[in-house]
């Protein structure tokens, strides 16, 4: 099915990201009677979702896990009318001249449907690339190195690719690539087979979905490289030609010939996830989305909240505050108000 044939849904507010910032924003916009949708790549892989205990969020018992708190936030938003969809966003349009629509000036594209919205909130967090880049990673970024299989997977039809990482994100991205690549080399630094056989307590590895890992390993075009570390991404002027890896206990490295290298970490990094929108809104030097005091970006009607702003204050309560501010600003923007309407009435 072509992009033009996909289902098109219309909303007042589209929120990309279902963490505390996105859910808080949705709660407020839904209570303001704005038709709202959250598009969440995976509810189990965000910074809050993988936090074992929450001790510094006001009013929350310190024994509560981050996942439990996030579940409550999501349910609360849904109860007030928010639609929640698990979906990977690979592209956005943010201006009328791009969408061709004077009312729904924003478009959000996923593999399954397209969202047309009057306003857009970016809340994808900062669990992107991990730590220091591998040799060759930065140089070949965009020429075979990618962090988004949904964005770039179709470029590798009938080609061999490598996916590095054991997080749920890495597993889902690798699964998506099996639709296109002739072989997906899944490179994992841990003894994942032992983990899946029960050698590791599931509670200690919440960032990996065991069922999805088993499903990935059962795919005929997936080759698992367990207990193997990525050493270097190799390439030339044409792009990536392979990845150099080292198997635990081996003195010698081995080169896997591939045309694409999709690199993910075992728990995410600290850089904002902006791959789907880099050319659409202004970013600072560190990759954070630039916003004003109302959380509006450089584009009218587009807001950014939470860790995607790349502030030093990466806390749940701050993310929730961002979501509240953006929601009130969105309501003011869509209704052409001169003043912010405060949500004090409890219904």
**Whether 225 contacts 217, CB under 8 Å:** no
The CB-based long-range contact list for 188-196 (8 Å cut-off, 24+ gap) reads 188/164, 188/224, 188/225, 188/226, 188/227, 188/228, 189/227, 189/228, 189/229, 189/230, 189/266, 190/166, 190/226, 190/227, 190/266, 191/226, 191/227, 192/166, 192/224, 192/226, 193/224, 193/226
Residues 298-314 have a mean pLDDT of 93
pTM: 0.69
* Residue 39, pLDDT score: 98
Round to whole Å and give the CA distance between 256 and 170: 18
* Residue 267, pLDDT score: 42
Q: Assess whether pLDDT exceeds 80 at residue 169.
A: no
Q: Between 173 and 267, where is the model more confident?
A: 173
* Residue 344, pLDDT score: 58
* Residue 202, pLDDT score: 40
User: Percent of the chain beyond pLDDT 90?
Assistant: 63
* Residue 141, pLDDT score: 80
- pLDDT tens, 206-259? 456 778 899 999 999 999 999 999 999 999 999 999 999 999 999 999 999 999
* Residue 132, pLDDT score: 75
Residues 126-141 have a mean pLDDT of 77
Lookup result for tokens 């996916």: 163
Q: Assess whether pLDDT exceeds 60 at residue 272.
A: yes
Q: Between 94 and 55, where is the model more confident?
A: 94
- pLDDT tens, 83-93? 999 999 999 99
* Residue 167, pLDDT score: 80
- pLDDT tens, 34-73? 999 999 988 877 778 767 678 789 998 888 888 899 999 9
Q: Out of 46-50, 76-80, 267-271, 327-331, pick the least confident.
A: 267-271
Q: Between 191 and 120, where is the model more confident?
A: 120
Q: Between 66 and 304, where is the model more confident?
A: 304
Q: Which residues pair with 92 in a beta bridge?
A: 108
**How much is the mean pLDDT over the chain?**
88
Give the angle 329-294-289 at the CA atoms, nearest 5°.
Answer: 120
**Whether 80 contacts 36, CB under 8 Å:** no
* Residue 201, pLDDT score: 43
Q: Assess whether pLDDT exceeds 60 at residue 322.
A: yes
Q: Assess whether pLDDT exceeds 60 at residue 130.
A: no
Helix axes of 66-79 and 316-334: crossing angle, nearest 10 degrees? 20
Residues 156-176 have a mean pLDDT of 91
């Amino acid at each position: 099915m072509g992009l033009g044939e996909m289902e098109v849904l219309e909303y007042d507010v589209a929120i990309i990201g279902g963490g505390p910032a996105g859910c808080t924003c949705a709660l407020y916009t839904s209570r303001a009677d704005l038709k709202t949708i959250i598009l969440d790549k995976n509810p189990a892989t965000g910074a809050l979702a993988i936090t074992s205990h929450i001790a510094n969020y006001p009013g929350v018992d310190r024994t509560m896990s981050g996942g439990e708190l996030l579940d409550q936030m999501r349910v609360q938003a849904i109860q007030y009318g928010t639609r929640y969809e698990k979906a990977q966003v690979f592209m956005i349009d943010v201006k009328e001249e791009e969408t061709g629509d004077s009312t729904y000036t924003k478009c959000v594209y996923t593999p399954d449907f397209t969202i047309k919205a009057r306003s857009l909130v970016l809340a994808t967090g900062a669990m992107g690339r991990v730590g220091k880049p591998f040799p060759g990673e930065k140089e070949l970024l965009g020429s075979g190195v990618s962090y988004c299989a949904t964005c770039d997977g179709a470029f590798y039809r009938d080609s061999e690719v490598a996916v590095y990482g054991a997080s749920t994100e890495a597993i889902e991205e690798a699964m998506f690539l099996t639709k296109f690549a002739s072989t997906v080399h899944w490179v994992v630094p841990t003894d994942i087979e032992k983990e899946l056989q029960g050698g590791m307590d599931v509670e200690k590895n919440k960032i990996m979905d065991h069922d999805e890992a088993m499903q990935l390993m059962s795919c005929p075009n997936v080759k698992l490289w367990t207990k193997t570390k990525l050493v270097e991404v190799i390439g030339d002027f044409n792009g990536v030609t392979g990845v150099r890896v080292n198997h635990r206990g081996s003195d010698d490295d081995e080169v896997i010939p591939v045309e694409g290298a999709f690199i993910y970490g075992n728990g995410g990094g600290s850089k904002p996830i902006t791959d789907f929108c880099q050319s659409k809104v202004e970013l600072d030097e560190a990759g954070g989305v630039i916003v004003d005091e109302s959380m509006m970006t450089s584009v009218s009607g587009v807001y950014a909240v939470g860790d995607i702003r790349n502030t030093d204050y990466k806390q749940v309560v701050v993310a929730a505050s961002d979501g509240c501010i953006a929601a009130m600003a969105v309501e003011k923007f869509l209704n052409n108000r001169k003043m912010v309407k405060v949500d004090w009435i409890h219904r």
